[in-house]
Structure 1
Amino acid sequence: MFAKGQTVIQLFEQFSPKHYAIPDDRIGLQLGTLNKEIRSILVALDVTDKVVDEAIDLGVDLIIAHHAIIFRPLKQLQTDTPAGKLYEKLIKHDIAVYIAHTNLDVAEGGINDMMAAALELSGLTPLEEVHTEKLYKLVVFVPKSHHRKVLDALFQAGAGYIGNYSHCSFNIDGTGTFKPEEGSKPYLGEVGTLEEAQEVRVEVIVPDNVHRKAVQAMLKAHPYEEVAYDLYSVDLKGRTFGLGRAGKLPKPLTLGELNEKVKAVFDVPVCRVVGDPSKTVRKVAVLGGSGSRYIRHAIFAGADVLVTGDIDYHTAHDALAAGLCLIDPGHNIEKIMKTGVADILRAKLIEHKYATEITASQVNTEPFQFL
């Protein structure tokens, strides 16, 4: 069985939800329809003419890419322009294009985590926080016979996390009263009779991204026809998500040694480097894409070096004056997302027993040549 387009995106957004994106970012479905069966998906960094040709050759129904193909509202669609020809080709071959940009940068396990993992960084923190997880408290009253079943269902749905602790709950024994009215089918007691039942009040913290799933899991495990429960927001800070990462190397390296490692793991022929190649570096900041704006963030995080793309001349001077080293391997190192996203989404589709195929694009979209 092949997944529908909406199902593919629902599974993808479990990992990289839209609300992680910075305001006004061009994300989501940009061309085509998801209201169809998806037999094959191509994951790409950029949607170029060669990438579209690759998708056509593979019989792809959907491209999931990092960089948008539509940056601003279209006033007209002329098929004799490069962009117009690209859109026309996609439409003629019924290939939809879905974009995950800063939400994929921010996501746990997303591009910045992929970059950090490639450099074996540990103790990761975001360079800039952009989203704080909203938390709820779910309170439900459960008969003692089903206490463990309901609690396990909540934990399996993702409830009960507080910081680095899982399976957190508070449970109070008490007596519940109810009177089944005409037309009811009570699990306990009889219609028209006031009943008392030994119940447990269960309290768990539920993050926003799973609160609906947790409620449904609780209702499914609960034996009552009408379940008494409360769900309310709490003034607690959940997990924070952000752009970039800062973390420590497994062992200190010189800037020159780290540069060689960057070239190897990101498969780039050359990097621009700011700083003394013999300087020892221990803490590294990484940010996929254009990182000139994040010099101060890297310094504030205590990084010795920032690995990012598109560093301009004046920013390089500012970093040098501040004592921050830079390694610029180019914007295209975000290509690490191709295999990363393909692996993650493939696992989710297999888990749900879908036969939809996923391929990481083999097209090199680096526009620069190093001569």
Structure 2
Amino acid sequence: MSGAATGQHEATLADLRRVTEAFWPAATAESWDRVGLVTGRDDRPLRRVLLAVDAVAATVDEAIALGADALITHHPLLLRGVHTIAEDTGKGALLARLIRADCALIAAHTNADAPAGGVSDEIARRLGLHGTEPLVQGAPPAAHGAGLGRTGTLPEPLTLRAFAELVDGIMPRTVTGVRVAGDPERIVSRVALLGGAGDSLLDHPAVRSADVYLTSDLRHHPAQDAIELARAAGGPALVDVAHWASESLWLEGAAERLAEQLPGVEFTVSELRTDPWDFAVGGER
């Protein structure tokens, strides 16, 4: 998608950084996160931008083939410390290719999870939830109503199986699909959700009081503990989707917003699946 060119100003990387900071302020990211510009120079012309969940070989190839001047990813390439960017390392090879191609790299991670129109907000919108609120209200300078995750109510109660099918319908295809823990005939109405990895909030009061918790990357022991607690004292059913799938839904809206602010720049959303799993065998349905 692209905006119509207006005026004489040629957009630069500095303009993209200004707009991304306005939409997703770095100060609202979690303290452990690493967001913003990874590589690039402010005065470089900006004509094409690719958006993707991950900076991996496939999306870097795509950005370079597109002639993109910048790649915006949700996941930071340098989230964890590295001590070398030698080209015989995975991250070093990616950075070297981006730099040689004059393609900047920008990450918008937890700062893009929390706001209106962010990752969790977009999942809630596609599910049609009413009365949505953050699971965890963001600390200042986050705007009111911004924060991690969302809670809300379905337009009408559904069985857990029907809810899982609704979730499956809004998510892109992955090998692991939608995994569910709970009675398929249980009626659910109140939903708690968190795009990306969410077992850290299994004990949150807003999750415990929901009928179902939708998230990703639920590990064996935290999920098992939550299920046993729900049996003993009440609690939510669990719906687990692929991490990449839950966060990919945000990209389209992000590209549209960026295009509105930077007319004349072409924004493209990657359609590549960067979920790490290629196939599965022997699963029970």
Give TM-score, length-normalised by structure 1. 0.68
Query: Of 257, 270, 295, which aligns to 2:202?
Result: 295
Partner of 1:341: 254
Decide which of 51, 59, 67 is 2:67's aligned counterpart.
59
1:246 aligns with 2:151: yes
How far did residue 8 of structure 1 move?
1.4
Tell me which amino acid in the other structure corresponds to 2:159: T
Conserved in 2, the CA contact under 8 Å of 1:309 and 1:328?
Answer: yes
Structure 1 counterpart SS, 2:71: strand
User: What amino acid maps onto 2:275 in structure 1?
Assistant: E
Displacement of 1:96 after TM fit?
0.6
| 1:330 matched to 2:235 | no
The percentage of counterpart residues that share the same residue type is 38
- Indicate yes or no: 2:277 matched with 1:368: yes
What is the match of residue 308 of structure 1?
215
Aligned-pair distance for 1:113? Answer: 0.6
The answer as to whether partners of 1:45 and 1:337 remain within 8 angstroms in 2 is no
Amino acid at match of 2:188: V
Change over 3 Å in CA distance of 1:13–1:347 after alignment to 2:
same
Q: 1:68 aligns with which of 68, 72, 76?
A: 76
Task: Give the AA of the match of 1:247.
Answer: G
Structure 1 SS opposite 2:98? helix
3-state SS of 1:38 partner: coil
Determine the structure 2 residue equivalent to 1:125. 133
Deviates further, 291-300 or 9-18: 291-300
Aligned to 1:199: none
The 8 Å contact of residues 246 and 298 in structure 1, kept in 2 or not, is answered as no
**Residues 70, 133 of structure 1: CA spacing in aligned structure 2 closer, same or farther, 3 A cutoff?**
closer
> Structure 2 CA distance, aligned partners of 1:115 and 1:28?
23
Tell me by how many angstroms 1:71 deviates: 2.2
Q: Give yes or no for the alignment of 1:262 onto 2:262.
A: no
Distance in 2 between the 1:89 and 1:303 partners? 46
Secondary structure at the aligned position of 1:311 is classed as: coil
User: For residue 356 of structure 1, what is the amino acid of its counterpart?
Assistant: V
Please say if residues 66 and 100 of structure 1, whose CA atoms lie closer than 8 Å, have aligned partners that are also in contact: yes
Structure 2 counterpart SS, 1:250:
strand
Could you tell me which amino acid in structure 1 is paired with residue 90 of structure 2? P
Residues 326 and 370 (structure 1 numbering): CA distance in 2 closer, same or farther, change over 3 Å?
Answer: farther
Code of the residue aligned with 1:46 in structure 2: it is D
Question: What is the aligned partner in structure 1 of residue 16 from structure 2?
Answer: 8
Alignment partners' CA distance in 1, 2:145 and 2:225: 29
The change in CA–CA distance for 1:300 and 1:330 in structure 2 (over 3 A counts) is closer
Q: Which amino acid aligns with 1:239?
A: H
* Cα deviation, residue 277, structure 1: 0.8
Distance in structure 1 (CA, Å) of the matches to 2:270 and 2:132: 29
Residue matched to 1:94: 102
**CA–CA separation in structure 2 for the residues paired with 1:30 and 1:335:** 20
**Is 1:282–2:195 an aligned residue pair?**
no
Residues 95-142 of structure 1 show CA distances to partners (whole Å, capped at 9, x for unaligned) of: 1100000000011111111110111111111111232458xxxxxxxx
Distance in 1, matches of 2:157 and 2:61, equals: 44
Task: Kindly provide the CA deviation profile for residues 180-230 of structure 1, in whole angstroms up to 9, marking residues without a partner as x.
Answer: xxxxxxxxxxxxxxxxxxxxxxxxxxxxxxxxxxxxxxxxxxxxxxxxxxx
Alpha-carbon distance in structure 2 between the residues aligned to 1:331 and 1:356:
29
Report the Cα distance in structure 1 between the residues aligned to 2:67 and 2:223, rounded to whole angstroms: 44
SS of 1:251's equivalent in the other structure is: strand
CA distance in 2 between counterparts of 1:20 and 1:77 reads: 28
Secondary structure at the counterpart of residue 86 of structure 1: helix
Given candidates 13, 19, 22, the residue that maps to 2:27 is 19
> Which protein has the larger Cα radius of gyration, Structure 1 or Structure 2?
1
- Note closer, same or farther for the CA distance 1:288–1:122 as it changes in structure 2 (3 Å cut): same
Range 261-270 or range 103-112, more displaced: 261-270
Residue of structure 2 equivalent to 1:355: 264
Q: Structure 1 residue 37: deviation in Å?
A: 1.2
Paired with 2:158 and 2:42, the residues of 1 have a C-alpha distance of 47
Query: Structure 1: which 4+ aligned runs deviate by more than 3 Å?
Result: 298-301
Report which stretch shifted further, 290-299 or 97-106.
290-299
Gaps (5+ residues) in structure 2? 1-8, 281-285
Gaps of 5+ in 1: 135-237
Cα shift readout 1:295-346 (whole Å, capped 9, x = no counterpart): 1226457311111000011121222122311100111121112212111111
Q: How does 1:101-116 map to 2 (within 5 A)?
A: 101-116=109-124
Kindly tell me the number of residue pairs found equivalent between the two proteins. Answer: 264
CA contact (8 A) 1:304 1:325 kept: yes
The answer to whether the Cα contact below 8 Å between 1:122 and 1:250 also exists between their aligned partners in 2 is: yes
- Give the Cα–Cα distance (whole angstroms) in 2 for the partners of residues 300 and 368 of structure 1: 28
8 Å Cα contact 2:130/2:154 also seen in 1: yes
